[in-house]
Chain A
């Protein structure tokens, strides 16, 4: 059974704080690791897809790293803003065109 775990489940921070979340996934049969940002009643928004061990991706204040040997990825948000409040989902795929296996998400709330 393929399992993707995210921690923490929820996080409450003040505006300006930097924060990070963890995603752990199976290290065998790895093809890609995806991060999504999702607000209820909207489409999950693709942030990053990473495939190579050691990959680092950045988009504005958000960045992510990947370790395929030990099966984990970190998502970092620098200087959190209220508009960053959302659920951050990671998902693992094991082949081209393959289904995504999602973690339970980390709910981030940023207070002004």
Chain B
């Protein structure tokens, strides 16, 4: 598709429950990125993929967070045993390998509310 599609738009979980977020990148884009927006306007990098391989995971919390980008499937970000502080908007972005100096195109985000 021509847009980065994120689902669901809003996810509500009780503390301790699992949360799984999905991202379909733009067709033909090699890179996928996940960002977490907790405080107003602060976008924090989590992890990126080049095709199905992890490219950079320096922002991923060591525990409870995992992500995958498998061929012919949407990418996913999973949080095991959610905590209150995981409440945030999670943005996915994708970029083409060689075009426009890797301009990143963003989805509309998934708002995770942990109660």
Contact = CB atoms under 8 A, between A and B. Distances in A.
Interface centre among B33, B43, B95, B107 (most CB of A within 10 A): B43
A101 B45 contact: yes
A13 interface: no
Interface stretch (A17-25, A44-52, A67-75, A76-84): A44-52
Size band of the interface chain B makes with A: 20 to 34
A100 B47 CA distance: 11
A49 B103 CA distance: 7
A78 to B, nearest CB: 23
A99 B99 CA distance: 16
Given A41-B108, A43-B4, A44-B91, A99 B45 contact: yes
Interface centre among B42, B56, B58, B103 (most CB of A within 10 A): B103
A63 interface: no
Contacts of A51: 101
Interface string A45-64: 01001010000000000000
Given A31-B101, A42-B108, A49-B101, A97 B55 contact: yes
Contacts of A101: 45
Interface of B: 3-4, 30-31, 33, 35, 41-43, 45, 48, 50, 55-56, 58-59, 91, 93, 95, 97, 100-109
Interface of A: 31-32, 34, 36, 41-44, 46, 49, 51, 87, 89, 91, 93, 96-102, 104-105, 107
